[in-house]
Amino acid sequence: MIVSIHIPKTAGTTVGYLLDYGSRRRILFDYQEDYLTWREKLPFLLEHAAFIEEYMDIVHGHFYFKKWQAVFPEARFITCVRHPVSRVISQYLHVLNSGEGHFGEAIQEGLSIVDYASVNNIGNAQSVFLDGRDLDDYDFVFLTEDLER
């Protein structure tokens, strides 16, 4: 099992497409809006872990390391990281232009990028998503800035 953590605005969508077709579509996309409350769903996931493992080779999406580590502790974990300032700017501009997300209205009404970056889980998103495992211990780490190479 491969677990691919897609931190927002780190080229995870591109990585997801590659994994999707590279695995012959044996991928479970986990993009639940309420990923902050993953612990509530853990009993369900544990109950269905054997089914997921039988039919899927990869889990990919917006979730914290600890969620799927609790289900598949022996999985290979991969992720894509990006320069933190570039990542926050990209996320801010995405929310500004789309109006989506919890901060869409606030940004459109003038929430500064500095204030946005200071919000927990925004400026420190990469460390929050990957918390629980040292970056050196991930099985593979893509760097957004080097993805083309």
- Residue 35 pLDDT > 90: no
Q: Could you tell me what percent of the chain has a pLDDT over 70?
A: 100
The residue ranking higher by pLDDT, 128 or 120, is 128
Give Cβ neighbours of residue 18 (< 8 Å, ≥ 6 apart). Answer: none
CA angle 35, 36, 39 (to 5 degrees): 90
Confidence at 149, pLDDT banded by 50, 70, 90: confident
pLDDT at 75: 98
Q: What is the pTM of this model?
A: 0.92
pLDDT at 100: 79
C-beta of residue 90 within 8 angstroms of C-beta of residue 144: no
- Residue 145 pLDDT > 80: yes
- Residue 2 pLDDT > 90: yes
Helices (H), 1-149: 12-22, 38-47, 49-55, 65-71, 84-98, 104-108, 113-117, 125-130
- Mean pLDDT of the residues in the chain: 93
Q: Please count the helices (runs of H) and the strands (runs of E) in the chain.
A: 8, 5
pLDDT at 38: 85
Among 114, 85, 119, 87, smallest CA distance to 102 is for 119
Rounded to 10 degrees, the C-alpha dihedral 120/126/132/133 comes to -160
DSSP state at residue 115: H
Q: Could you tell me what percent of the chain has a pLDDT over 90?
A: 82
Among 20-34, 89-103, 130-144, which is the least confidently predicted range? 89-103
pLDDT in tens, 41-79: 899 999 999 999 999 999 999 999 999 999 999 999 999
